Structure 1
């Protein structure tokens, strides 16, 4: 059985399936206030989230291709944000919708789930009340 090295986080990369890479890029840029970088790799269209070497968190991309299907089922990616309520407002204003409103998870902060413009279920996490 393979094991994860004890000194690193278990996840280092994520891919969010999309149907329309342009629409999804615009949604994520407006909701999170960042600039994504588009690139094509063979038959796949991708747009990468910003990444800083040595900073906490995983790197990732939006990806459009034959084997990628947006879904509510399966793995849920959590985005770290300062203000969940404000982020959910941006989700709604940019074509997404809230699935689970802000909810306390006790000493571990707060979470919420949302649907993006592509039909994916994703989530937010914040330590701020």
Structure 2
């Protein structure tokens, strides 16, 4: 299958790279490769990407794209996010095709998690 003209990589701002790595490792089981103190990459999570050092945040309020993760156990994932220091910014709600919630990571970046 060709990669031509497909989304291949995404980069996300992070105020604190170490806290970001800990959060996504604890909640989602991600692993990281560091490229200096200001960048860390992840792979095999649906799309490859990385976190770069920045004081900016991703939020739908300011028009940023929303990164949506999938979970087989929506409530369990929500609990794990809260235990790891994430904040729920939109509680679980239904939409055609499933349910989802939005959360912010320790940096304040907004993400969503959905389930069928």
Regarding TM over 0.5, the answer is: yes
Paired with 2:7 and 2:95, the residues of 1 have a C-alpha distance of 21
Q: Does the alignment pair 1:77 with 2:73?
A: no
Task: Report if the CA contact (8 A) 2:58-2:65 is conserved.
Answer: no
Paired with 2:5 and 2:71, the residues of 1 have a C-alpha distance of 19
Structure 1 residue ranges without an equivalent (≥5): 1-6
Number of aligned residue pairs: 111
Q: RMSD of the TM alignment (CA)?
A: 2.3
Match 2:16 to one of 20, 31, 37: 20
Once the two structures are TM-superposed, the CA of residue 35 in structure 1 deviates from its matched residue by 1.7
- Give the secondary-structure state (helix, strand or coil) at the position aligned to 1:17: strand
Once the two structures are TM-superposed, the CA of residue 102 in structure 1 deviates from its matched residue by 1.8
**Which structure has the greater CA radius of gyration?**
1
Runs of 4+, deviation exceeding 6 Å: none
- Give the secondary-structure state (helix, strand or coil) at the position aligned to 2:40: strand
- Give the secondary-structure state (helix, strand or coil) at the position aligned to 1:104: strand
